[in-house]
């Protein structure tokens, strides 16, 4: 294998989310590049580097490199630790895991906010569908569907529609529908609709007839 092919076949893989979050953690682009170098020299959570060589690789002076390392330490995205080697010997290394933990925390925070926003929107939709305000118990149930069971929003929408079609008008009934679909491994809208069409072909045909299709100009047919 040629050197170029070898290099391209063994890339340094970085999570894409790092590019979205490092600024939110307060890192400059230069500090992030340093972190990537530390990450490239890691063994598990530990990174040991030759400062002089790393400075040359980054094209900066050692004193500037120490300043950037201090920036990472001040932001607590890396930690300087000491390992006992025995015989009174010690070895310093950088623990790079805090950055990873902080990015994961931001991802979870953003995901929770997204679920919260979707939940609020879904609650309004459900109230419009069932035509009455939801009780505190109903709201808790809907939140559990999204946050605990992690049901897709479209799955919940379809379950609510199925509840209304069956004239149940109760989210407890909707909960049983969702549990039944979960047991059958039905999460995607297309799988659920296929299941419903087999279960009730007449109802499926009615739903299909209500679909809105794009209008095609008459000239398209005549040309």
Question: Element (H or E) spanning 49, and its range?
Answer: none
pLDDT tens, residue by residue, 8-34: 555 678 888 898 899 999 999 999 999
Q: Is there a contact between 178 and 149 (Cβ–Cβ < 8 Å)?
A: yes
Q: Is there a contact between 39 and 30 (Cβ–Cβ < 8 Å)?
A: no
Is the per-residue pLDDT at 1 higher than 70? Answer: no
68: left (phi over 0), alpha (psi -120 to 50) or beta: alpha
Pick the CATH number of 12-95 from 2.60.120.1090, 1.10.10.10, 3.90.420.10, 1.20.120.450: 1.10.10.10
**pLDDT score at 205:** 46
Domain residue extents for the chain:
12-95, 111-208
pLDDT tens, residue by residue, 130-153: 887 888 888 888 888 888 888 888
Reported pTM: 0.57
Give the domain 111-208 fold: Arc Repressor Mutant, subunit A (1.10.10)
Q: Is there a contact between 72 and 78 (Cβ–Cβ < 8 Å)?
A: yes
Query: Which of 27, 29, 31, 51 is closest to 41 using CA atoms?
Result: 51
Is the per-residue pLDDT at 102 higher than 80? Answer: yes
**pLDDT score at 53:** 92
Contacts of 197 (CB under 8 A, 6+ apart): 204
SS (H, E, C) 137-200: HHHHHHHHHHHCCCCCHHHHHHHHHHHHHCCCCCHHHHHHHHHHHHHCCCCCHHHHHHHHHHHC
Least confident of 132-136, 158-162, 171-175, 215-219: 215-219
**pLDDT score at 216:** 46
**pLDDT score at 217:** 53
Distance separating alpha carbons of residues 102 and 22, to the nearest angstrom: 9
pLDDT tens, residue by residue, 188-222: 888 888 888 876 654 444 444 444 445 545 444 44
pLDDT tens, residue by residue, 71-93: 999 999 999 998 887 777 888 89
**pLDDT score at 2:** 55
**Do the domains at 12-95 and 111-208 have one common CATH topology?**
yes
Q: Which two tokens stand for residue 39?
A: 């990450």
Q: How many CB atoms lie within 10 A of CB 3?
A: 7
Contacts of 193 (CB under 8 A, 6+ apart): 158, 204
Distance separating alpha carbons of residues 79 and 99, to the nearest angstrom: 10
Query: Which of 27, 29, 30, 94 is closest to 59 using CA atoms?
Result: 30
pLDDT tens, residue by residue, 44-56: 888 888 889 999 9
Distance separating alpha carbons of residues 146 and 122, to the nearest angstrom: 10
């Amino acid at each position: 294998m040629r050197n170029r092919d070898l290099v391209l076949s063994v890339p340094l893989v970085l999570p894409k989310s790092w590019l979205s979050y490092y600024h939110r953690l307060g890192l400059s682009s230069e500090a992030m590049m340093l972190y990537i170098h530390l990450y490239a020299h890691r063994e598990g959570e530990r990174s040991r580097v030759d400062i002089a060589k790393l400075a040359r690789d980054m094209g900066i002076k050692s004193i500037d490199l120490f300043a950037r390392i201090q920036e990472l330490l001040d932001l607590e995205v890396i930690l300087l630790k000491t390992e006992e080697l025995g015989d009174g010997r010690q070895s310093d290394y950088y623990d790079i895991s805090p950055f990873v933990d902080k990015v994961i925390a931001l991802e979870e925070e953003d995901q929770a906010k997204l679920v919260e926003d979707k939940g609020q929107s879904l609650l309004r939709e459900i109230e419009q569908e069932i035509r009455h305000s939801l009780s505190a118990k109903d709201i808790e149930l809907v939140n559990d569907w999204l946050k605990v069971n992690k049901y897709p929003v479209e799955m919940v929408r379809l379950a609510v529609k199925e509840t209304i079609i069956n004239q149940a008008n109760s989210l407890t009934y909707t909960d049983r529908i969702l549990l039944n679909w979960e047991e059958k491994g039905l999460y995607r809208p297309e799988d659920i609709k296929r299941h419903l069409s087999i279960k009730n072909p007449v109802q499926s045909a009615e739903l299909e007839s209500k679909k809105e299709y794009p209008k095609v100009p008459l000239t398209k047919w005549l040309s």
